[in-house]
A and B are shown apart, each in its own frame.
Chain A
Amino acid sequence: MPIPEIIFKPVDELASMIRTRQLSPVELVRACLDQIEALNPKVMAFITVTGEHALEQARRAEREIAASHYRGSLHGVPYAPKDLFATKGIRTTNGSKVTANWVPDHESTLTQRMNEAGAIMLGKLNLLEFAMGSGQRGLVGPARNPWDLGYSPSGSSSGSGAALAAGMVPLALGSDTGGSIRNPAKSCGVVGLKPTYGRASRFGVTTLSWTLDHPGPMARTVAGVASVLQVIAGPDPQDPTASHHPVPNYGEALNRGVEGLRIGVPTEHFFDHVYPETETALRRAIASLKEMGAVTVDVKVANADLCGATSSLILDSEATAFHEKRLKEHAALLDPLVRERLEAGKFNSAVDYIRALRIRTLLMEEMRRIFQSCDVMMLPAGNAAPKLEGEIVGTDAAPHPPLPRRPDSYNLANITGIPAIVLPCGFTAGPPVLPLGIQFCASPFDEATLFQVAHAYESATNWHTRRPLLAG
């Protein structure tokens, strides 16, 4: 069956077609469900597909729009959340045998906001177990990279990245504690935003680390991500850490251009272990932005080499605390890597944990200093996706040869809470031909400037228009 081109249209085009009734939400949902049916057995992006529910919501959206009750730019647009987001009455597995049959009695704030905006949920997306498991196991088996099924989509929002790349859904929600939105965005050639800490409510999202968790949007374009953030951002009485910082009009930022924009480029640490091909793509992207009028500023982030250990200590300590009861009662059901990490976390001392939080203070102050000299800072987004069997499986099956060292691309933004976006910046020569990504981060609550620079770069390139052969 030929792939309907509508499933790969950018969200702003879909929204316009739906609003002007050139496209029915029912037709769009059916096209996505057909793509899911055709590809999910190979890609394993979805754990649960809620087809009938989605069609019912699509018919409702169609009626509302026909009656001129248009809710906004996401009305009638399909989306899917990572299966870490509680969805009332619809099973939420966390990718784990422990919660395989959990049906929540409450809705996460972010899916509720998406639903109230008229977006249509197609199902629940695959992930690494509890956002921390191995790339090889999980409740239904790993999601696979649509660009090459022998490769990982990266995680932990693995299904979110894979579903977008495969054209199964135009919008997704993920969560990012140490790169879990940005890494799959890079590996799947899509756009992922880790918002500022507190920009999007964590209510109803299963915790990995209270300090480092950031739920956020993913899409195939920067505008798509911006449109989701517009809907999900804002305070939430059910999450005291959700900020009251004003939510700007993100759409207005998209077309500001980059004339005079200062892009910080780190001179140390972050380019360690970046492969030459990746670095070439990154430098070429920066050169493009300079041609558009941006200026680059060399920056050095003091104590950047402490990011990895700081993040690990905070994350593992808090994850172990959160899962303490689960570890005691259901250890045998856990993914071996999850169990290993939680047991190892028990050996962390409170004094060391507090030390990590103090180093966090210093890194946050350092980033405030950095952003006095630049508007955004560019970072690598890791190397291209690894082979699926190259993902971490835990010491019960140690990899041979040992895994290559990875760049420390993601932890800084989680530790300091600053927003960070990843978008495509090229492809490897292959084979296989795999996406490469570039990352930008900005001051707290300055997602608008991230959208400004990312959209400018995206508009000057066509990486985002390419699709995997598998997707048709």
Chain B
Amino acid sequence: MINVAALTVGAGTPVAGAESGISLSALHNASALNGLDLSDDRLRLLKPVLEQRMPGLQRLRAFELDDSVAPTQGILDN
């Protein structure tokens, strides 16, 4: 899957009147690559939802994980 944040257009000085956060065209591309057939209206609706999630996502991505830490799934039997 494509990292939506990496597709954000507009690195550098923002242009007056340009979109803030994740661009609609980036979402459109990510949507197509993920096999989603979302209209521009749906993407406009999802844009703030995804933008709201970015800070938390970025904190997770920035967190240092040692190689020895494996994912845990399933039961917790002691």
Partner of B53, one of A242, A344, A350, A398: A344
Within 8 A of A (CB), among B11-70: 30-31, 34, 36, 38, 42, 45-46, 48-50, 53, 56-57, 59-61, 63, 65, 69-70
Whether B50 contacts A347 by the Cβ 8 Å rule is yes
Whether B60 contacts A313 by the Cβ 8 Å rule is yes
A residues less than 8 Å from B60 (CB atoms): 306, 309-310, 313, 352, 355-356, 359
Q: Answer yes or no: A396 CB below 8 A from chain B CBs.
A: yes
Give the shortest distance, in Å, between A373 (CB) and chain B (any CB).
Answer: 18
Partner of B78, one of A303, A313, A348, A445: A445
Q: Answer yes or no: A211 CB below 8 A from chain B CBs.
A: yes
B residues less than 8 Å from A309 (CB atoms): 53, 56-57, 59-60
Q: Answer yes or no: A118 CB below 8 A from chain B CBs.
A: no
Q: How many residues of B contact A (CB 8 A)?
A: 33
Closest A residue to B35 by beta carbon equals A346
Chief secondary structure at chain B's binding surface: loop
Whether A245 contacts B59 by the Cβ 8 Å rule is no
Partner of B75, one of A198, A310, A360: A198
Within 8 A of B (CB), among A317-370: 340-341, 343-344, 346-350, 352, 354-362, 364
Q: Answer yes or no: A134 CB below 8 A from chain B CBs.
A: no
| Given A340-B49, A344-B49, A355-B60, residue A361 in contact with residue B70 (CB < 8 A) | yes
B residues less than 8 Å from A305 (CB atoms): 59
Whether A360 contacts B72 by the Cβ 8 Å rule is yes
B residues less than 8 Å from A417 (CB atoms): 76
| Given A343-B42, A395-B49, A444-B78, residue A361 in contact with residue B59 (CB < 8 A) | no
Whether B53 contacts A349 by the Cβ 8 Å rule is no
Whether B76 contacts A211 by the Cβ 8 Å rule is no
Mark interface residues in A280-319 (1 if CB within 8 Å of B CB, else 0).
0000000000000000000000010110111011000000
Whether B76 contacts A396 by the Cβ 8 Å rule is no
Chief secondary structure at chain A's binding surface: helix
Q: How far is the CA of A357 from the CA of B71 in the complex (A)?
A: 5
| Given A356-B60, A358-B69, A358-B70, residue A350 in contact with residue B1 (CB < 8 A) | yes
Give the shortest distance, in Å, between A247 (CB) and chain B (any CB).
Answer: 13
Partner of B50, one of A344, A355, A356, A445: A344
A residues less than 8 Å from B49 (CB atoms): 340-341, 344, 395
Partner of B65, one of A308, A312, A347, A358: A358
Q: Answer yes or no: A197 CB below 8 A from chain B CBs.
A: yes
Whether A360 contacts B76 by the Cβ 8 Å rule is no
Closest A residue to B4 by beta carbon equals A347
B residues less than 8 Å from A444 (CB atoms): 76, 78
Whether A396 contacts B78 by the Cβ 8 Å rule is no
Closest B residue to A210 by beta carbon equals B73
| Given A309-B57, A347-B30, A396-B45, residue A245 in contact with residue B71 (CB < 8 A) | no
A residues less than 8 Å from B42 (CB atoms): 343
Whether A245 contacts B78 by the Cβ 8 Å rule is yes
| Given A309-B56, A395-B45, residue A357 in contact with residue B50 (CB < 8 A) | no
Give the shortest distance, in Å, between A449 (CB) and chain B (any CB).
Answer: 14
B residues less than 8 Å from A354 (CB atoms): 71
Closest A residue to B38 by beta carbon equals A343
A residues less than 8 Å from B71 (CB atoms): 354, 357-358, 360-361
Q: How far is the CA of A443 from the CA of B70 in the complex (A)?
A: 21
A residues less than 8 Å from B61 (CB atoms): 352, 355
Closest A residue to B48 by beta carbon equals A395
Q: How far is the CA of A362 from the CA of B63 in the complex (A)?
A: 12
Q: Answer yes or no: A136 CB below 8 A from chain B CBs.
A: no
B residues less than 8 Å from A445 (CB atoms): 76, 78
A residues less than 8 Å from B4 (CB atoms): 347
Whether A243 contacts B72 by the Cβ 8 Å rule is no
Give the shortest distance, in Å, between B75 (CB) and chain A (any CB).
Answer: 4
Give the shortest distance, in Å, between A83 (CB) and chain B (any CB).
Answer: 26
Q: How far is the CA of A341 from the CA of B46 in the complex (A)?
A: 9
B residues less than 8 Å from A398 (CB atoms): 48
Whether A243 contacts B45 by the Cβ 8 Å rule is no
Whether A241 contacts B69 by the Cβ 8 Å rule is no
Q: How far is the CA of A306 from the CA of B57 in the complex (A)?
A: 10
Interface residues of B (CB under 8 A from A): 1-4, 30-31, 34, 36, 38, 42, 45-46, 48-50, 53, 56-57, 59-61, 63, 65, 69-78
Known: A306-B59, A340-B45, A348-B1. 4 other contacts (CB 8 A): A313-B56, A344-B46, A356-B60, A361-B70
Interface residues of A (CB under 8 A from B): 196-198, 211, 241-245, 303, 305-306, 308-310, 312-313, 340-341, 343-344, 346-350, 352, 354-362, 364, 395-396, 398, 417, 443-445
Listed from nearest, the 3 A-B pairs whose CB atoms lie closest are A309-B56, A357-B71, A349-B1
Q: What are 10 residue pairs bridging A and B, where the CB atoms are less than 8 Å apart in the complex?
A: A245-B77, A306-B59, A309-B56, A313-B60, A344-B53, A358-B71, A359-B63, A360-B72, A443-B78, A444-B76
